[in-house]
Chains A and B, each alone.
Chain A
């Protein structure tokens, strides 16, 4: 990449916007995923009793089971949210930057 291209892109307001938005967004989603997963793991390590609680009186299904399924679904949901926003907003910004500098 030519040096003038670097400085053109670097100072482009849309590039600054893209960088800020995407960095924050991917960190937030990573943090959410890690808190869900490590939260779950810590429950397994520290509070097995809680995971043993039945979901309703008389049910044999423990809270642990729907909770585990929720962790799986949240992983899918979070990738969906990221893909949807990145393929929309972020790619639009990228296209505009490319159009301006090339």
Chain B
């Protein structure tokens, strides 16, 4: 119960922060566009296709194992594509190409940060997750530790991360769809919420996986075509591409080297740490490793995913530069009165789609952007729902004494609740700048989820008390430092420039240190009976972790 209270306090904190945030900011409203027929037709094709898959998946989703992990029968290659589909959000496609369009090289620096977490996941946690866990990363973190405290802590970390990420996606979805399809904002948000509830409730992980695979293929195909057309335009010469871009762009040569993104070394390292280790603590990403059959397939998943994601970021770089050539020079893409890019700074890739492929291809890319959001929110919701049903309900409230049917029912209820919550919050946050929420989610994942997961796998002296207190210290420090930092304090809450109590934009270096040090300190000073049990359990855990002995059976019951 104590843990629930803690969770309640956290949620209240988060929600009250959001109320404060909604009080004062205006992001600049997005204009609604005229109805885009080709986009709507392609989107309807995608939706009917994926609903068909959901129907097919529903026939095959009978047990909890099917629901959470698609029966564990996804291959490494499929999972690699699904991971890429889960990770390449509309924010990274539109946001990074927009950043390249606006400042050139800085976009590349950012995208590299989003990629380098993947090798670390492979070397440190991927196969370990597969060998030790069943459905959620809390299975691994609580393997030899006290179930109730550790699962509650991990579920809090998961839910906070998932909710923040979900809000950012929903608001992005509403604005994007309003712009691309000419739908009302609230209708767009409701549509995304309802579709995601359908996919996840009926089709579970199997439907979610295939939605992500299809989306990844569509996005990679569309982005490849755009990059190819850009390169064709410049005679396949990067020299020509960059020369022309420098001549056109108002920052000229500055777009070819680092600009304002990174100003001081500490921020640079801190941003990097948050992106790198945050990736390794995202619950919807970690959950994907339980969908494959063994350690071998888990490794292959990361290898393929890293390839697809890296390729995708190289494409977005070319797309951003292509937009400088083909979009910034065409008055049709600018608002005649204000002189700004139609739809705002995230739109270069969308306009470029029109520039290289006309209305039909614009429709295709718009539908892909919508599909991208659906795939990402479905993965997030499934991860959030399993934290509620598998960790909180089945293992904390019912102490593991629960049958599968009951657990499945709770997970479906949790999916619907999360979906409705996402719709409400999405509408609530319409006018807010939510860009910081994704980085906040990464920072929390890096400071709470990741340290607990990593040390539970590798550090024999970790105790329940250490992981519980340290995990919460990481979570609260990350949340607190972002709120009193410039991004929320000044840009979102509207206090004067320079008035933020904490002057760093990227707090990961501090909050990760706080998390790790607290876990260490509260573990080594722990002499309780529970601590002795925790330490004694390490040997057996490590053998299973290293060899997978016992893992094959554990997946089945």
Contact = CB atoms under 8 A, between A and B. Distances in A.
A89 interface: no
Given A1-B549, A5-B549, A76 B310 contact: yes
B406 to A, nearest CB: 28
A60 B118 contact: no
Contacts of B256: 52, 60-62, 64-65
Interface stretch (B107-115, B337-345, B518-526): B107-115
Contacts of B299: 82-83, 86-87
Chain A interface helix/strand/loop/mixed = helix
Nearest to B106: A44
Interface in B237-264: 238-239, 242-243, 246, 253, 256-258, 262, 264
Contacts of B122: 79, 82-83
Interface in A36-51: 37-38, 40-42, 44-46, 48, 51
B512 to A, nearest CB: 14
Contact of A45 (B120, B264, B303): B264
Interface size class of A (residues with CB under 8 A): 35 or more
B236 to A, nearest CB: 14
Interface residues of B, number: 52
B314 interface: yes
Contact of B543 (A6, A52, A80, A83): A6
Nearest to B256: A62
A87 B292 CA distance: 15
A52 B257 contact: yes
A57 to B, nearest CB: 13
B269 A38 contact: yes
B548 A94 contact: yes
Interface string B262-283: 1011001101100010000000
Nearest to A69: B314
Interface of B: 105, 108-109, 111-113, 115-116, 118-120, 122-124, 127, 238-239, 242-243, 246, 253, 256-258, 262, 264-265, 268-269, 271-272, 276, 295-296, 299-300, 302-303, 306-307, 310, 313-314, 539-540, 543-544, 546-550
Given A45-B265, A45-B269, 9 more contacts: A1-B543, A41-B109, A41-B269, A59-B239, A62-B257, A72-B115, A75-B118, A76-B307, A83-B303
